[in-house]
C-alpha cells in the first residue's frame, strides 16, 4: 500500500453509497463517516434492522485489535459482550477429546449489528432499512463511491458480472444454522454416524447461556435421511434428537433458518469504476473456519485506510484489492481444505479417536503439529504416543517399512528432472546432486525420471537405463549412497516421455519442441500435448510389446545397478499416464475406452517389471490423481487405479496430480495435493507418498501424525537445502536413529552464530 498523501481519495463532500447492512457494510459506513464527518454516507438494507441469518459471530484477536485501533468506541462496546474460550471439544464414537490453548471470542450476531447500528447513527450515517437500494448504475452515477456489501448472492456483483467475472462453486453438503440454550464451554464438533450416513455438529457459545449450532451433512445423506421431505420444525426437532447427548436433551431453535448449500465465491476483480465489492460479495470462506465476518470487517478496515491514503478513488480501490486479495486467497485455501475435509468426513472415521481429533484440528493446515504442541503439549504428546513415536521423536523421524526396505524416516527426496545427462549417462553432477541429498538425511532419495529408451527421453539431457554404460554410471552413484550414507535408500523412477518428448531443456523452453535433432514420438493416441507440439504416432500392438520389453530391460539394469526401490512413472502425461487418462487415450481397441481397458497396458508393464525386479525390493507407482481438467481422471478413478496397482503388487502409490494436459487449471496452495493421497490411502488401503508444496518439517509432521500419508516427498526444499532433513532434526532438537549426521559433518549439528548475542543489558537509567 502506498504511503500517506495530503489529499485523500474522498474529500469532505464525498458521497458514499453502501449496499447491504451486514457487519461489513455497517462497519465500512461507520469508518468512512468517522474518518471524515463531512462525507454523506447512505446505507441501504432491504431487511429490517433485526433480521439476521445465523446466531453467533466469531472474531479473532487480530481482527479485534484492528477494530480497537480504528474505532475504540466500537471495540469497547464489543468487549462488553464477548464470550471467550480457548478449548476445542471433539466427540467421536462416544469419546470426547479436548484440545486447549486456541483462543476464541464470539458474540451474538444481533448484538453485533445493534452495536454497529448505534455507532452509525451516532456518527450520522443515513441508515435506510426495509429499503431496496437503487440500481447499481444509478448509484454509480450519483455517488463518488459505491460499496457493494450485499452478500454472497450480491445483485451488484451480478449487475457487473462482465467486469467482476465471478466464479461460484457449489459444494456437496447441506447445512442449517440453529441455536440452543446450551452454554458450550468450547468450540465443539460432534460426529453422528447414522444408518443414512454421517452428520456433524459445529457448535460454539456466543453468550453465557446460548450457543450456535450448525448441523451439516452430505447432500446424499440429507436425502436418504428424509430431511428433504420434512418441514422446518420437523427438521430442527430431528437434528435435536440426533445430537441429544451434545445438547443435554435441550431443543434447538431456528431463526427462519433453512437448509442450504455453501457456495465459494471468487471474483477476478473486486472493483469496477467507482463500485467495489466487500465481504461475501467479493469472497466467501466456509463457516468451519469462522472467517466470514472476520474477513468482511477486515475488508472494511482496509478499504477505509486506502481511501484515506490514496489520492483518487481508482488508486484507492486498486490498493485495497492489492492489500486484501493475498490475505483472502490464503483464508479461502484454508477454508476450502476444511470444507473438503468435512465433505469427506466418512474417510476419517476409522482413525483412533485421538488421532481423529488431531486430524480434525489440523484439517485446514493453519493449525499444525508445531503450533499445536505449543498450544496443548499434553494432547499432542498423547497423539504422538498412540502413533508410536518414541519419546522425543517427531513423527517424521519414525521408521517405515516397504517390503524388505526399512526407511529410517518419512522424508523422500522427490524425483526432479535435472536435464544434465550426456547420451543418457549420469555424470559427476548426478553423483553430487543425489549424493549430497543422501548425506542430507532423507530416508529415501529418488532419481529423476530415468528413461527406458533414447526415444523415451523428454529432452536430450535426460538420463537413461537403456545401455550398460548408463547402468555402470548409476552403480557408481548407488555405491556412494550405500557407502557414505548407510541407512538411506536410493530409488529409481522409470518412465517414457510419450507425447511430451523431444523437447528443449527446461531452461531453454519448457515443453517446447527441439529446433533440430528431433526423434519420433509415440503415445496412446495421436494427440499433440499443446498447440505447436509435435503429433505422436499411435502405438500399435506390436510396438506395445517392444515398449514393455524396454521397461523390463531397464528394470533389470536398475536391479544390477543397486537401486533399493523402483518407481513406475504413470503420471504427468508421460507415456503410461497417457493410457490412464480419458483425455489422452482415445483408442478404440482393447487398450482404450473403459478404465479397466485404459489400465491394461500400464498394468502389463508393471507386471513385467515386477517379474524381473528382486522380490525383496519394493515397487511404487506414481499417478496423477486428477488431471485438473474437465472430463479427466476423477478422484474415484484415481482410487480404482491405485487399487489395481496394489492388487498387482505395488507397495505404495506416489500420489501426484496434473501435468497431463496443457489446459489444466490446478488449485495451487500449500500441501494442495495431499487430500488425494489421503483419499487413496483410506479408500484403496495402500501406503501412499504425498507430494505437492509440502515445504516445512512442520507440514511433514502434521501430515504423518494425522494419518493422511505414510511418506512425504519434497522437491524444491531439497534444491534450496540439500541437508533439509538434517536441519529439520536440528531445529527440532532431535538426535536419534531417525536421522544420522555423517561423521565429517557432526560438528555442524548446531547453527553457527551470526553475531554477538550476549551483550550486557542496561541496568540503570539516569535522569538528565
Return the number of other C-beta atoms located less than 10 Å from residue 501's C-beta. 29
- Phi, psi (5° rounding) for residue 728? -60, -40
Q: Which three cell numbers stand for residue 526?
A: 495421436
- Torsion region of 226: left, alpha or beta (phi above 0 gives left; psi -120 to 50 gives alpha): left
Cell of 6: 495530503
* 3-class secondary-structure state, position 180: strand
Is the Cβ–Cβ distance between 274 and 140 less than 8 Å? yes
For residue 150, how far is the Cα from the chain centroid? 28
Q: Which three cell numbers stand for residue 229?
A: 421431505
Q: Which of helix, strand or coil describes residue 131?
A: coil
The rounded distance, in Å, linking the Cα atoms of 430 and 476 is 10
Compute the radius of gyration of the chain from its Cα atoms.
Answer: 29
Distances (CA, A) of 288 to 156, 188, 215, 363: 27, 11, 11, 10
Residue 405 has phi, psi (to 5 degrees) of -110, 120
Our answer to whether residue 574 is catalytic in this structure is: yes
SS (H, E, C) 340-377: HHHHCHHHHCCCCHHHHHHHHHCCCCCCCHHHHHHHCH
DSSP code per residue over 134-155? PPHHHHHHH-SEEEE---TT-H
Residue among 359, 361, 335 at smallest CA distance from 349: 359
Q: What's the CA gap between 579 and 232, in Å, rounded?
A: 50
Contact 240, 233 (CB under 8 A): no
Cα–Cα distance, 126 to 760 (Å, whole number): 59
SS3 290: coil
Euclidean distance between CA atoms 567 and 550, whole angstroms: 15
Residue 282: CB atoms within 10 Å: 29
CB 316 within 8 A of CB 324: no
Catalytic one among 160, 574, 591, 676?
574
Cβ-count burial of 427 within 10 angstroms (0-12 exposed, 13-18 middle, 19+ buried)? middle
Cell 538434517 maps to which residue? Answer: 726
H helices within 225-343, ranges in order?
232-242, 244-247, 292-309, 313-343
Using DSSP's 3-state secondary structure scheme, residue 8 falls into coil
For 262, other C-beta atoms within 10 Å of its C-beta total: 22
Could you give the residue numbers annotated as active site?
Answer: 574
Amino acid at each position: 500500500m502506498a504511503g500517506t498523501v495530503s489529499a485523500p481519495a474522498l474529500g469532505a463532500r464525498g458521497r458514499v453509497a453502501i449496499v447491504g447492512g451486514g457487519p461489513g457494510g455497517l462497519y465500512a459506513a461507520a469508518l468512512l463517516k468517522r474518518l471524515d464527518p463531512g462525507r454523506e454516507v447512505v446505507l441501504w438494507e432491504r431487511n429490517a434492522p433485526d433480521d439476521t441469518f445465523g446466531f453467533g459471530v466469531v472474531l479473532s484477536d487480530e481482527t479485534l485489535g484492528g477494530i480497537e485501533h480504528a474505532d475504540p468506541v466500537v471495540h469497547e462496546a464489543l468487549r462488553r459482550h464477548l464470550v471467550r474460550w480457548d478449548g476445542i471439544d471433539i466427540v467421536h464414537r462416544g469419546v470426547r477429546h479436548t484440545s486447549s490453548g486456541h483462543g476464541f471470542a464470539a458474540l451474538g450476531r444481533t448484538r453485533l449489528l445493534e452495536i454497529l447500528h448505534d455507532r452509525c447513527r451516532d456518527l450520522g450515517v443515513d441508515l435506510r432499512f426495509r429499503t431496496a437500494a437503487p440500481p447499481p448504475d444509478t448509484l454509480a452515477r450519483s455517488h463518488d463511491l459505491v460499496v457493494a456489501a450485499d452478500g454472497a448472492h450480491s445483485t451488484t456483483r451480478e449487475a457487473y458480472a462482465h467486469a467482476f467475472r465471478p466464479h461460484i462453486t457449489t459444494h456437496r453438503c447441506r447445512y442449517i444454522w440453529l441455536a440452543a440454550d446450551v452454554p458450550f464451554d468450547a468450540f465443539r464438533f460432534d460426529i453422528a454416524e447414522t444408518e443414512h450416513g454421517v452428520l456433524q455438529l459445529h457448535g460454539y457459545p456466543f453468550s453465557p447461556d446460548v450457543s450456535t449450532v450448525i448441523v451439516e451433512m452430505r447432500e446424499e445423506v440429507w436425502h436418504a435421511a428424509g430431511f428433504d421431505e420434512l418441514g422446518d420444525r420437523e427438521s430442527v426437532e430431528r437434528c435435536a434428537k440426533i445430537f441429544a447427548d451434545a445438547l443435554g436433551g435441550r431443543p434447538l431453535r431456528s431463526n427462519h433458518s433453512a437448509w442450504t448449500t455453501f457456495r465459494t465465491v471468487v471474483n477476478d476483480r473486486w472493483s469496477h469504476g467507482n463500485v467495489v465489492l466487500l465481504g461475501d460479495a467479493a469472497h466467501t470462506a466456509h463457516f468451519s473456519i469462522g472467517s466470514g465476518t472476520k474477513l468482511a470487517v477486515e475488508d472494511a478496515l482496509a478499504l477505509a485506510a486506502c481511501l484515506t491514503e490514496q489520492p483518487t478513488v481508482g488508486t484507492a480501490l486498486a490498493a485495497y484489492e492489492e492489500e486484501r486479495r493475498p490475505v483472502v486467497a490464503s483464508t479461502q485455501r484454508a477454508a476450502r481444505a476444511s470444507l473438503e475435509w468435512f465433505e469427506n468426513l466418512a474417510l476419517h472415521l476409522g482413525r483412533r479417536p485421538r488421532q481423529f481429533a488431531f486430524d480434525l484440528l489440523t484439517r485446514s493446515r493453519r493449525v499444525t503439529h508445531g503450533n499445536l504442541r505449543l498450544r496443548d503439549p499434553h494432547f499432542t504428546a498423547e497423539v504422538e504416543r498412540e502413533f508410536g513415536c518414541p519419546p522425543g521423536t517427531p513423527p517424521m523421524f519414525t521408521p517405515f517399512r516397504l517390503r524388505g526396505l526399512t526407511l529410517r524416516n518419512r522424508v523422500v527426496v522427490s524425483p526432479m528432472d535435472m536435464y544434465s545427462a550426456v547420451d543418457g549417462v549420469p555424470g559427476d553432477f548426478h553423483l553430487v546432486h543425489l549424493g549430497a541429498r543422501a548425506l542430507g538425511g532423507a530416508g529415501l532419495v529418488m532419481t529423476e525420471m530415468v528413461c527406458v529408451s533414447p526415444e523415451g527421453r523428454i529432452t536430450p539431457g535426460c538420463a537413461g537405463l537403456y545401455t550398460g554404460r548408463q547402468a555402470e554410471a548409476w552403480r557408481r552413484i548407488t555405491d556412494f549412497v550405500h557407502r557414505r550414507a548407510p541407512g538411506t535408500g536410493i530409488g529409481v523412477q522409470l518412465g517414457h516421455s510419450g507425447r511430451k518428448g523431444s523437447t528443449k531443456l527446461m531452461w531453454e523452453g519448457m515443453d517446447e519442441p527441439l529446433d533440430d535433432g528431433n526423434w519420433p514420438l509415440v503415445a496412446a493416441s495421436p494427440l499433440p500435448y499443446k498447440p505447436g507440439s509435435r503429433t505422436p504416432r499411435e502405438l500399435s500392438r506390436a510396438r506395445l510389446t517392444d515398449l514393455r520389453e524396454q521397461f523390463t530391460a531397464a528394470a533389470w539394469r536398475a536391479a544390477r545397478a543397486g537401486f533399493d526401490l523402483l518407481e513406475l512413472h504413470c503420471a504427468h502425461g508421460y507415456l503410461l499416464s497417457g493410457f490412464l487418462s480419458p483425455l489422452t487415450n482415445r483408442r478404440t481397441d482393447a487398450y482404450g475406452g473403459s478404465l479397466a481397458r485404459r489400465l491394461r497396458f500400464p498394468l502389463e508393464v508393471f507386471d513385467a517389471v515386477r517379474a524381473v525386479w528382486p522380490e525383496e525390493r519394493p515397487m511404487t507407482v506414481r499417478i496423477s490423481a486428477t488431471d485438473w481438467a474437465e472430463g479427466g481422471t476423477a478422484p474415484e478413478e484415481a482410487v480404482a487405479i491405485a487399487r489395481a496397482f496394489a492388487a498387482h503388487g505395488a507397495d505404495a502409490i506416489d500420489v501426484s496430480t496434473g501435468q497431463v494436459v496443457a489446459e489444466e487449471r490446478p488449485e495451487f496452495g500449500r500441501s494442495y495435493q495431499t487430500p488425494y493421497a489421503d483419499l487413496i490411502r483410506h479408500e484403496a488401503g495402500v501406503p501412499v507418498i504425498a507430494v505437492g508444496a509440502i515445504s516445512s518439517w512442520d507440514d511433514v509432521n502434521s501430515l504423518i501424525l494425522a494419518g493422511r500419508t505414510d511418506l512425504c516427498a519434497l522437491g524444491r526444499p531439497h534444491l534450496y537445502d540439500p541437508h533439509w532433513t538434517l536441519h529439520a532434526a536440528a531445529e527440532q532438537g532431535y538426535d536419534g536413529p531417525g536421522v544420522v549426521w555423517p561423521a565429517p559433518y557432526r560438528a555442524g549439528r548446531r547453527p553457527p552464530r551470526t553475531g554477538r548475542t550476549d551483550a550486557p543489558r542496561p541496568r540503570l537509567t539516569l535522569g538528565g
